[in-house]
A and B are shown apart, each in its own frame.
Chain A
Amino acid sequence: MTEHIEHYLAKYLRMDRLPHIWCSGCGLGIILKSYVQALYELDYDLDKIVTVSGIGCAGRASGYVNTDAFHTTHGRALPFATGISVSNPELKPVVISGDGDLFAIGGNHLIHAARRNINMLVICSNNFNYGMTGAQYGPTTPPDIRTPTSPYGNTENPFNLVSLVASSGATMVSRWTVYHVHQLKNSIKKGLQKKGFSFIEVLSPCTTGYGRLNKMSPIDMMRDLKETSRIRKVNPTEATIEPGREVILGDFVDVEKPTYSDVLDQVSRRASI
């Protein structure tokens, strides 16, 4: 940290805050990397982006990018981002948050932001647990998994995130893993340039939480992501998500619809007649 590090992505990162706090092998570093790589390749105007995050390990992502950035309360990144997008449609909020923040406590806001087709890109790091608080089970933890709050096995069924978001009305829905770095970066580039609610689920290893509890090394977890995933063009409801057995990746939804701001403009015109 004391050494001045030259990096071609320095313009996009708060270099004074590296190395980041994430554990060795944590997928969040790869997600952050893919995000800024996408900004770099697009030569994106950094004054047109606001990086917003919620609470959790993924929530720390907003602190490392050299854009306007905000770290909100738990589950509320999406309404915060809605406030940005609606009040200034020139700004593109990019929300980076975790499966718990976006789909448990934030679940209600997720379905409504998608339903409204608010112009924003949401990158969901899905590591199948609540990493920061110590690997408790969450809305994407597979059944029967033992965690500190499910010591005898998870009693719940997980969401299929891409299915949920697609059925809520999102106009771009994709799922990748942190192993699929090229596809992930390309989806991020597409989402950055697309108007509407774009959602990318990224399966990511939580090496010290979920991984350690399930006796998987970081390399085991990455190898798992590589070997159990298949890229398919299917309906999001058919995009299987059974970590360790079969996971379907791909670009599942890519449609065009007026954004919420477009509709507000139409309403203004209609009201003025």
Chain B
Amino acid sequence: MNEPGVLTGSHFTHGDWACAEGAIAAGCGYFAAYPITPATEISERIATRFPLLGRRFVQFEDEIGAIASVIGASFSGMKSMTATSGPGLSLMLENIGLAVMTEAPCVIVNVMRGGPSTGQPTMGAQGDVMQCKWGAHGDTEIIALAPQSVQENFDLTVKAFNLSETYRTPVFLLSDANIGHMYEKLVIPEEEKIEILSRKKPLVSPGDYKPYMADESLVPPMACFGEGYRFYSTGLTHDELGYPNMGVDAQDKLVRRLCDKIRVNTDKITLTEETYTEDCDVLVVAYGVTARSAASAVQKARKEGIKAGLFRLITLWPFPEKKLWETASKVKGVVVSEMNYGQLVREVERAVKPVPVEFLGKLGENPPSPNEILAKIRRLDQ
């Protein structure tokens, strides 16, 4: 087969296409999904490319099957991904819990749309931000990235795979209908320039392997099916051998390690981008497509003489509260804008207390305009 995995060069394309190509560049070998607006184009691109690359695409009967098979493929050694939107993610929640509990590296793309329920299938929103973190029952920590451009749909998909492999955890890419379907320039670098990370493999022999025994990194090395390790994994609370052990000590030890492996590495995991924050009176916090409006608003504010700055969250979870506080502690006020009725703003309020926070929520398709955000900046600047 002569089909290249990495399509090095410039492209004019939409976010979903870029995301699919990012997965391919990252080495994704298994993709399963169910068509859902506005994520379907990811499946369609994968369906076209995978057979030419000898990789595996399965269109499942529903999203639950898709995510369950992604976990199976992950344990079979594949880098695996699924792509969906809000209603599909709701169906996947139980198995996301399974992925957390059994520590299955996998990437879940959610191209967000208006909700709740069937909502607005073709309109953008940022309403699933809390869901990806809290949706699965029990105490779970996950990683979520929010691209703001077609380029970032590619770059952050690669990053998502790297993080999922490093931390043996599901990683979400939270795109939205706006970014997913808009056309922009995408530059795909040469293959050698793309950093690819893979799961740590066991260094011991099968007889000595304990599938859920971790060192100080808190991430256990991962054997896969067919490698001779003959290990057992279960969604039940388990001990280091993977055997069900539902005692008090086992639960305490396991849940703490699963959460801590993300929490203690927050600084290493989280990506943020700050603009004009060195001398800043009013800080705007935004992510995804909203951050583009926010960037424009901050520029306008500066032209009016307001010392505004932008703190863009690229990683939404784990929430970079320390990094945010370092910047926000010096300002008069914080504006949070997102395309929902108040989700990540709650984390911001918690992290920047007692700095006052103004919220600008936008529902219905479009991100707030720069002028709407500017109005809030002006309010806080008084």
Contacts and interface: CB of A to CB of B under 8 A. Distances in A.
> Is there direct touching of A and B in the complex, by C-beta distance under 8 Å?
yes
Interface residues of A, number: 38
Interface centre among A14, A47, A79, A108 (most CB of B within 10 A): A79
Contact of B51 (A46, A112, A264): A264
B244 interface: yes
A143 interface: no
Contacts of B73: 83-84, 86-87
Given A63-B244, A83-B80, A76 B65 contact: yes
Contacts of A149: none
Contacts of A174: none
A84 B62 contact: no
Contact of A83 (B32, B52, B102, B233): B32
Given A71-B236, A73-B98, A79 B64 contact: yes
A91 B76 contact: yes
Interface in B122-170: none
B225 A71 contact: no
A66 interface: yes
B138 to A, nearest CB: 13
Contacts of B102: 70
A5 interface: no
A56 to B, nearest CB: 13
A48 interface: yes
B302 interface: no
Interface stretch (A157-165, A215-223, A250-258, A265-273): A265-273
Contacts of A47: 226-228, 230
A87 B56 contact: yes
A contact patch SS: helix
Contacts of A109: 61, 64-65, 68
Contact of B233 (A69, A82, A84): A69
A78 B68 CA distance: 9
Given A73-B95, A79-B66, A271-B52, A84 B230 contact: no
Interface centre among B1, B62, B230, B235 (most CB of A within 10 A): B230
Contacts of B68: 72-73, 76, 79-80, 83, 109
Interface string B1-13: 1010000000000
Contacts of A73: 68, 94-95, 97-98, 235
A91 B97 CA distance: 25
Contact of A267 (B51, B66, B77, B97): B51
Contacts of A46: 230
A271 B225 contact: no
Interface in B24-69: 29-30, 32, 51-52, 54, 56, 58, 60-62, 64-66, 68-69
B64 A76 contact: yes
A68 interface: yes
Interface string A69-102: 1111100101111111011101100000000000
Contacts of A271: 51-52
A80 B15 CA distance: 29
A108 B63 CA distance: 12
A17 B238 CA distance: 13
A140 interface: no
A50 interface: yes
Given A70-B75, A83-B80, A272-B1, A62 B98 contact: no
A9 to B, nearest CB: 15
B58 A86 contact: yes
Contacts of B325: none
Given A73-B95, A87-B77, A68 B71 contact: no
A22 to B, nearest CB: 14
A83 B71 CA distance: 7
B33 to A, nearest CB: 12
Given A47-B227, A47-B228, A83 B98 contact: no
Given A73-B95, A84-B75, A264-B51, A91 B225 contact: yes
B369 interface: no
B78 interface: yes
B121 interface: no
Interface in A15-57: 17, 46-48, 50, 52
Contact of B69 (A14, A50, A83): A83
A87 B73 CA distance: 6
B70 interface: yes
Which 3 residue pairs of A and B lie closest in terms of their CB atoms, listed nearest first? A83-B72, A83-B69, A71-B234
Given A52-B72, A76-B68, A79-B64, 14 more contacts: A50-B225, A62-B234, A68-B229, A69-B230, A69-B233, A71-B236, A84-B72, A84-B76, A88-B225, A88-B226, A108-B61, A108-B62, A109-B64, A268-B52
25 contacts: A14-B243, A17-B243, A47-B228, A69-B232, A70-B233, A71-B233, A71-B234, A73-B95, A76-B68, A80-B71, A82-B72, A83-B76, A84-B72, A84-B73, A84-B75, A84-B76, A86-B58, A86-B73, A88-B78, A88-B226, A91-B225, A91-B226, A108-B65, A268-B51, A271-B52
